[in-house]
Chains A and B, each alone.
Chain A
Amino acid sequence: MSIELKGISKRFGEVNAVADVNFSVKEGELVALLGPSGGGKTTVLRMIAGLEMPTEGDIFIGGQRVDDISVQKRNIGFVFQNYALFKNMSVFNNVAFGLKIKKVSKPEIEARVMELLQLLGLSGLEKRYPHQLSGGQRQRVAIARAMASKPKVLLLDEPFGAVDAKIRQELREWLVTLHHDLNVTTLFVTHDQEEAMEVSDRIVIFSNGKLAQIGSPRDVYERPVNEFVARFIGVMNVLELKVSNGKGHVGELQFPLPDGFTADTARIGFRPYAVQISTDVTQYRYQAILRRTYFLGIMLRLELELPSGLKIRSRMTKEEYSQLALYDGCDVSFQIREFRYLGSENSGLRPELLNINELPPTYGDHI
């Protein structure tokens, strides 16, 4: 089922946890709600489930307004951050709970539970109690329990937060497969941008209770609407420019300005991969020293220092690095292939500032 939020706000006393959030999720989509902790994403998820009531606005599930429908009747599957398995019940009874409440017949319950346990690779564990399970198994029991009565929507709160890194990777891949098999509209909350990028069809990014950006992983990475999103999704060099003679300056670097730009300062951002390096110090416009190389597996991150002391980050593959015969302390020249003007974190959502960001993302090699 589709989900739609219209003008949703939530206040806890004086605190605006969520402010005027609008977005919609199409049927069968897998969507991540991403943001730093305290950003309001969990509150949004809980409002969709009916565990919290919005202070303002309406929520539609499958086109039907659900504001007056209680949590019990919304027929959503909710997976809690710490799984919230019923400690006093076996795996079987945990998964069967919702069906028993709905007075489904015994043979039907038996069949459905066994089918789900099979699907989630939990066969043979039905008599175990939650404290006898590993973190990954608990997680899957929680998902099986949420899926038991065939909900229209599956909501997961930080689904991989409480398991260790290796299992997290497995669970991610497994969630994508499961979503593909069941094709149920799925929303999950995460503060891990990598997780959101890897798993979801689209990402909804929250900042301080406001919606910062919605888009595919590629969209938000390549076309962040503001500095907050840009810094949150991946690594970005962010520089503050002073404006004079129709150009933006910082240290040795010079950037063209968009037409009609009038302010004294501007902020720009560029990804490390956009910094192109050569050992021929005359090949590109700017000169720098390679200060330090960080090995991140297949990719390397390079820290360049300009004569003025300005530092910027670049990245390249191991092959490129050895082809160029780079070493810490060597002289290089570089150019910045593409960059973006950024709205500030607080004002980034105001439309009058957004138009700066609607410049074509690439300014090419003419810097």
Chain B
Amino acid sequence: MHFEFNIEGGDFSKAGFASSQLKKILKQLVGDHKIVKRTVVALYEAEVNVVAHAYSGKVLIDIDTDKIIIKVKDKGPGIEDIQLAMQEGYSTASEKVREMGFGAGMGLSNIKNNSDDFKIESEVGVGTKLTIIANLKTE
């Protein structure tokens, strides 16, 4: 099943919309609530990243009986040094964003920790694309 959501850069009031929708969907489909939680947390972090850093973004979700594939693509500044950005605590978030309680530099590593497979591609000046995969164990 395929779902799509848009994310608007800078609009923190709506950050979390896609992850909340995903949660509703997964709770109706998946029995293992730990997988549901992990996946939703990963998407929430990715959403906040787009809102905090990019101009706009798109969430593409594909759910199958064996896995959930989430792609988060944004138009934005891109990431210069991905390895550095993946480090816990490293952040380029603006003062304004930090004042709102975001941008602690845990986002990307948290996404990775909450997914079974994680891929990040970025082009400076163009944007960033994350792929988050959750494997569904067959019960």
Q: Does A pair with B? A: no
